[in-house]
Amino acid sequence: MKQYESLILDLISGQMSDEEFLRKFPVDLKENKIFILERLQEVYTSRNADLVEYALMLGFRFHSFTCAFSEVLANLLLANWHTTHEDIPRILEGLRDSRTVNALYEACGLKLKYLAYDDNFGLARKCIYALGAIGSEEATEKLMLLSRSPNKVIQGFADRQLKALC
């Protein structure tokens, strides 16, 4: 992934179209979704924060995310060495994979230095919405636990999701 950084930056900055990017990129990202999955697994193992961001950007751009990504995304959601946590619940919300319920629930309590300013608890809100989208019995149980949180903001998000599930 590192060798493709400048190409990815050109795409993201708008200096290159999707079509031009796909012509220059050595892998057809529309057809080979495993490429991004493998890169995410590599960057999780290597703990390269910048490359997590690039891999997620490519995944969003080329609609690559499937349930095959659930495990690595859940692991990344709980990892404290990068700064892209808030992107991950959006992906998991779309996947609606019940295997990610525990990670989403645990992420609601993460205390990440780079998000210390956020009194609105955006990460927790996004995780709670993802739990609501999953809507399984286990997800509902986690929402009920969150609705009893001492944090009134988190409690409110969970209450709204529980009402939406009824």
Q: What is the pLDDT of residues 41-69, one digit of tens each?
A: 999 999 999 899 999 999 999 988 999 99
pTM score > 0.95 for this model? no
Of 37, 64, 91, which closes a domain? 64
Counted domains in the chain = 2
For helices 137-146 and 122-134, angle between their N-to-C axes, nearest 10 degrees: 150
**Do 100 and 154 belong to one domain?**
yes
Domain around 60: 1-64
**Do 77 and 144 belong to one domain?**
yes
**CB contact at 8 A, 9 and 20:** no
Of the two residues 15 and 166, the one the predictor is more confident about is: 15
Which three-class secondary structure state does DSSP give residue 3?
helix
